[in-house]
Amino acid sequence: MSIPHELINSSAERIEVADVSKTFVTKQRTVLALDRVSLKVAESEFVCLVGPSGCGKSTLLNIIAGLEQPDSGKILANGEEINEPGRDRMVMFQEHALFPWLDVIGNVLFGLKLKPGLKDKEREEVAKYYLHLVGLEKFHHAYVHELSGGMKQRVALARALAPNPRVLLMDEPFASLDALTREQLYGDIQRIWEARKKTIIFVTHNVREAACLGDRVILFSPNPGRIRAEFAVGLPRARDINSVELAHYSTEIMAALKGFTAAEGKEASE
Amino acid sequence: MKRGIVSLVFFFLLLAAWEFAAQSVAKPYLLPSPFSVGRYIWQSTGDGTLAMATLVTMKRLLIGYAIGLVFGIPLGLLTARFKMFQDTVGLLALGMQTLPSVCWVPLALLWFGQTEAAMLFVVVMGTLWSVIIATNDGVRTMPPIYLRAARTMGSRGLHTWFKVILPASLPYLVGGMKQGWAFAWRSLMAAEIFVSILTGFGLGQLLHYGRELHAMDQVIAVMIIIIFIGLLADRLFFSPWERFLQRRWGTGKLK
């Protein structure tokens, strides 16, 4: 297969979160989901955001995606402010969010067809390339409901990768999968990240998953949502989720997570 | 195969019970036997009466139904997406849907006279509102995640309407179209039995004249034809759509 110019690795993007706050008002109460959060993500860095539910990590991802607006502060991509969704930042959701009225390749082509400057034949070739990359070359014309949960998330990954974004935003994409499928996907996502050189921001509440995938793990705490700690994971790739070295890191992160949740409980009771 | 035999036996027994009732219990002028009904169908098929009446009725039905869809689907899409339409057209549709469309007959006759337009008006009033409501419900049931995903991939405005919202609501639209069809069919029959239109003699009128002439074999024959047309429409128009949706969406429950 001749690989069109479209597939040449574009340089990854540098993302800067500058002093971002976001409040949600419900009938019962007001929640400060993000309280002046700042974060810098380097080009081609794989960063995992971890924390208990309600700590604002998904909200931050949505703001970076441009799907939500911050109340204050801003998001910079390569130094330029962003405030709406863009093709340079693709999102993978917890639910696969595939379109049931399209077949597998139709789903992957959806974003590609909206990308100008390509011939239809090139689009098709790009879609096939990514379906091959995620190991679904035999399922071009299957319908979404015919696929297993893991296969659906692979299609969603191919769909997100196809328009060649510079950043990949992943919101607990593996949370609803069984353990075995998840482990396969940890291998796949690391392999694809090495091959395609993207900046990846990955949200999860699974500490081990974060340690396995991230160059850096950022720890969030809720009420208000803030960054509490940061860990660099210096293990060589590809990492195995079950390795002893990894356990060392995830224990350390878990201890920190428990530490500040306990501290907060104490504060509250005093 | 076995199910086919079961159906066949069931309907044979039903016919036998009917014949028995006609022979022994009821007087023939109260319940004509299946044979006299069969004879009427045979004769009126032969002389073209049934075919003509069916043609007139189907023409009214299809035109009225088409008008109902052409206006109903876009209006339903608008009420689902814009508050202004929801609070106006949506509310109107909700109210109008509760009104059996045969209630429009007196006004329709006054406005349009004994013409095809009066018939069409009644059919459209029967179809339009239920199509608006079904379309509206369909679009509202669409998971919002589709819109978010489409936005991140660069879909905006009309592209989102035609490539996401419309196909995502398709299973519900087909349900709405089916419901609209049932409403159109019922309104037309009521209207045809109620009024004679000089420009065309439909199935409803044939049934009505059966009553006037006290020809119950004719009445029952027309009823049977009406049932068959309903079944045929379901098999020809809606079943293929539903099978298609089932294959794509993979569930029967979205029908």
Q: How confident is the prediction for chain B on average, in pLDDT?
A: 88
Is residue B216 within 8 Å of residue B30, measured between CB atoms? yes
Domains annotated for chain A, with CATH where assigned, are 5-269 (3.40.50.300)
What confidence category does residue B70 fall into, taking pLDDT thresholds of 50, 70 and 90? very high
Residue numbers in B near A85 (CB within 8 A) = 151-152, 154
Q: Nearest residue on chain B to A146, judged by CA atoms?
A: B250
- CB within 8 Å: B148 and A93: yes
Q: Mutation target for B interface from A101, A107, A108, A152: give the one with most B CBs within 10 A.
A: A101
Per-residue pLDDT at A265: 60
pLDDT in tens, B98-155: 898 889 989 998 999 888 899 999 999 989 999 999 889 888 888 889 999 999 999 9
> Which of B149, B154, B167 has the CB atom closest to A114's CB atom?
B154
pLDDT in tens, A26-84: 888 888 889 999 999 999 999 999 988 878 899 999 999 999 999 999 999 988 999 89
Minimal C-alpha gap between A266 and chain B (Å): 39
pLDDT in tens, A80-107: 999 899 889 999 998 889 999 999 999 9
Per-residue pLDDT at A47: 95
Domain assignments of chain B as residue spans, ordered by start:
1-31, 36-249
Q: Select from 3.30.470.10, 3.30.70.560, 1.10.3720.10, 1.10.357.10 the CATH code of B36-249.
A: 1.10.3720.10
Q: What is the DSSP string of chain A?
A: -PPPGGGSPPPP--EEEEEEEEEEE-SS-EEEEEEEEEEEE-TT-EEEEE-STTSSHHHHHHHHHTSS--SEEEEEETTEEE-S--TTEEEE-SS----TTSBHHHHHHHHHHTSSS--HHHHHHHHHHHHHHTT-TT-TT-BGGGS-HHHHHHHHHHHHHTT--SEEEEESTTTTS-HHHHHHHHHHHHHHHHHH--EEEEEES-HHHHHHH-SEEEEEETTTTEEEEEEE--PPSSPPTT-HHHHHHHHHHHHHHHHHHHHHHHHHH-
Predicted interface score ipTM higher than 0.85: yes
- The encoded tokens of residue B67 equal 């008008």
Whether residue B190 has pLDDT greater than 50: yes
Distance CA A48, CA A188 (A): 16
Minimal C-alpha gap between B136 and chain A (Å): 19
- CB within 8 Å: A110 and B248: no
